[in-house]
Amino acid sequence: MNDVILRTPTVESVIHCGDGAFARYAPALAARRLFVVTDSNVFAYYRYLIWQTFGDETPVHILPAGETSKTMRNLTAILRAMVQAEIKRGDTVIAFGGGVVGDIAGLAASLYMRGVRLVQIPTTLLAQVDSSVGGKTAVDFEGVKNLVGSFYQPEEVICDPVFLKTLPDREVRCGLGEIVKYGALDGEIYSELIANSQNLKTPEFLDKITYMCVRHKAEVVSADEHDLNGRRKTLNLGHTTGHAFELFYRKKSHGEYVLIGTYYELYIAEKLNVCGHDYAESIRKLINAVIGKVPAFADVRSAARLAKFDKKNSGSQISLVVPAERGRCAEISLDEESYPALLEECAARLKSRAK
Ligand code: NAD
Ligand code: GLY
């Protein structure tokens, strides 16, 4: 087991990583007044563990499982349930679930009485390596993902691989998508991924790599908590195109679209001499190891229009964070004509290879 400390100018958040972290750190929370937020799938698997650990009197708010639960309506329902449970300023919200639960429960905790204590217990691989760490909270609003939210650090994150035992393979691929992203940002993570490219789903590998990703994210967030100086923006590598495909096609998981987006953006980075061929090829192999063949989408031009809404953009330029070399990424800005044209070239190449 390993702890990572995330320090910002105002708070300190401790992330307990590794096998046994839940058994070691969760029982102590039962001494406080708690309010647990979870989702229907997680509750079905872990209701006895929740009752046993936190007490069967602890209020548990259960959201319907899935991405569509990150709504204002559900946020209001959580806040109303907190009022009914008479939650006070010194009480603690526990977000027990994946990124959806973490994002909405974190937002509720940041709003209720201007902020109550928050503990994240991430149960998906994506939430363990990414969303539970760093304090971004949000709900979707007016059809825009994560439009309404806050920066609100959990005081503690309990990141235990025990929960991954019940996770469907699709969700493991989703988490691996973000792990490969870290590999393109951090040379040590890259080397670990290359050395284990045939064992990416083994518990031993996931245990080690989760700690490394959490350490990387904590360092980035400590340096740029509020996404202001360009450092935190790097965590969005591959996401401009990934999000655009995700919004347009809506068939695969977020992490798979991140990898597909990274693949297309690598084509652009190589074409513009921002990334060398051998390094690009090694990242492409990792992507293929997680999701198999990358699709040659038929209508990338329409999907590309959705990249206009990316938060990194300025003016009419589309901003991409792309792999550059081992341990280094770069930002590319493209105009609204070049970007879809380059994506189309990549799709055409993928199509010709598939023949
Ligand atoms: P999720 O929370 O919807 O979980 C995925 C699925 O796995 C759900 O059906 C859930 O019920 C199920 N599940 C969760 N834990 C399980 C377990 N242990 N066993 C079996 N099933 C389990 O999705 P996610 O991928 O964890 O998170 C995606 C969300 O995270 C998105 O809304 C995204 O915007 C957000 N996100 C936030 C940040 C951030 O920094 N705040 C970063 C990345 C992503
Ligand atoms: N997942 C991106 C961030 O936390 O900034």
pLDDT tens per residue across span 249-272:
989 988 999 999 999 999 999 999
Are residue 305 and residue 220 in the same domain, yes or no? yes
Are residue 121 and residue 211 in the same domain, yes or no? no
Are residue 177 and residue 160 in the same domain, yes or no? no
- Look at the block and give the residue holding tokens 């921002």: 274
Which residues, 6+ apart, have CB-to-CB distance to 83 below 8 Å? Answer: none
CA of 98 to the centre of ligand 1 (A): 3
- 70 within a domain of the structure (yes/no): yes
- 231 within a domain of the structure (yes/no): no
Query: Cα-Cα-Cα-Cα dihedral of 233, 14, 35, 46, to 10°?
Result: 90
Q: Which ligand is nearest to the CA of 238?
A: 2
Which residues, 6+ apart, have CB-to-CB distance to 345 below 8 Å? Answer: 267, 271
Are residue 140 and residue 196 in the same domain, yes or no? no
pLDDT digits (tens, 9 = 90+) for 100-135: 999 999 999 999 999 999 999 999 999 999 999 999
Q: Which atom of ligand 1 is nearest to 175's Cα?
A: 25
Task: Provide the token pair at 333.
Answer: 């800005």
pLDDT of residue 353: 81
User: For residue 39, what are the domain limits?
Assistant: 2-166
Are residue 142 and residue 209 in the same domain, yes or no? no
Q: Is 165 buried (19+), middle (13-18) or exposed (0-12) by CB count in 10 A? A: exposed
Are residue 269 and residue 348 in the same domain, yes or no? yes
Are residue 161 and residue 191 in the same domain, yes or no? no
Cα 310 to chain centroid distance, Å, stands at 16
Are residue 155 and residue 23 in the same domain, yes or no? yes
- 240 within a domain of the structure (yes/no): yes
What CATH number is given to the structural domain containing 346?
1.20.1090.10
Q: Which atom of ligand 1 is nearest to 255's Cα?
A: 25
Domain count, the chain: 2
Q: Is the pLDDT of residue 85 over 90?
A: yes
Residue-wise burial string across 274-298, b where 16 or more C-beta atoms lie within 10 A, e elsewhere: bbeeebbebbbebbebbbeebbebe
124: Cβ below 6 Å to ligand 1? yes
> Rounded to whole angstroms, how far apart are CA atoms 38 and 64?
9
Q: Is the pLDDT of residue 330 over 90?
A: yes
Are residue 267 and residue 154 in the same domain, yes or no? no
- Residue identifier of the C-alpha nearest atom 2 of ligand 2: 235
pTM (2 d.p.): 0.96
Are residue 199 and residue 337 in the same domain, yes or no? yes
- 31 within a domain of the structure (yes/no): yes
pLDDT of residue 309: 77
CA of 13 to the centre of ligand 1 (A): 21
- 297 within a domain of the structure (yes/no): yes
Domain end position, chosen among 122, 139, 166: 166
355 CB neighbour count, 10 Å cutoff: 4
Percent of the chain with pLDDT over 90: 92
- Look at the block and give the residue holding tokens 């309010």: 35
If you average pLDDT over residues 342-350, what whole number do you get?
96
CA of 273 to the centre of ligand 1 (A): 35
